[in-house]
A and B are shown apart, each in its own frame.
Chain A
Amino acid sequence: DGGITQSPKYLFRKEGQNVTLSCEQNLNHDAMYWYRQDPGQGLRLIYYSQIVNDFQKGDIAEGYSVSREKKESFPLTVTSAQKNPTAFYLCASSRLTGNSPLHFGNGTRLTVT
């Protein structure tokens, strides 16, 4: 079955460490996105990519970095510069023909202490 796989489901890190969250899709979607969700809040866009080797900042990109070396993969690195990294991180993808439905992975819950 096609879908979006995020790993790990739960991640614990000490303050000051960089951490990379994995996102892989086999839907053959061109566009991929990273969103952050804080408790009781909506989702906010961190980064997005419409094509391999290209990506753009979203609304809250500071303290994060991404890469898009393959169409299927869009890993997110939470750096030590991110002031409040503890959150639920959701990866999504969509076709790029016009606007099309957004599909989400199951998310990674990151806790930094």
Chain B
Amino acid sequence: GIQVEQSPPDLILQEGANSTLRCNFSDSVNNLQWFHQNPWGQLINLFYIPSGTKQNGRLSATTVATERYSLLYISSSQTTDSGVYFCAVGGGNTGKLIFGQGTTLQVKP
């Protein structure tokens, strides 16, 4: 099956700093999504981005499907950005997603 690798596993930032999270996947996909899990366990969908670039406020994401990677950019980080960021990918049309292990982000005030 498809393998998903996220890096770095852990990241500590000072408030206001920028960061880039990476997601590599081992096979062609037609479904790629980024999620943020807050400290209470809630999972929020950030982007549905099988290819191209999208932006939503301070967050943006780029997926280069031909090279099998995606990047999540966080600019001017805030303490509320803390949590775990997951990349999830899928092929076919079932909507099934394979999740990476996540990047744990801590933003310090």
Contact = CB atoms under 8 A, between A and B. Distances in A.
A102 B93 contact: no
A102 B97 contact: yes
A48 B31 CA distance: 16
Interface string B39-64: 00111110010100000000000000
Given A90-B43, A104-B43, A107-B41, A45 B97 contact: yes
The listed residue with most A CB atoms (<10 A of its CB), out of B30, B86, B95, B99, is B95
Q: Interface size class for chain A? A: 20 to 34
Nearest to B9: A40
A104 B95 contact: no
A50 B99 contact: no
Interface stretch (A62-70, A73-81, A92-100): A92-100
Given A48-B94, A88-B41, A101 B99 contact: no
B96 interface: yes
A41 B101 contact: yes
A48 B96 contact: yes
In the A-B complex, list the 7 residue pairs whose CB atoms are closest, starting with the nearest: A42-B99, A99-B31, A104-B43, A101-B48, A43-B99, A101-B45, A42-B101
Interface of B: 1, 4, 30-31, 33, 35, 41-45, 48, 50, 86, 88, 90, 93-102
Interface of A: 31, 33, 35, 41-45, 48, 50, 56, 58-59, 88, 90, 94, 96, 98-104, 106-107, 109
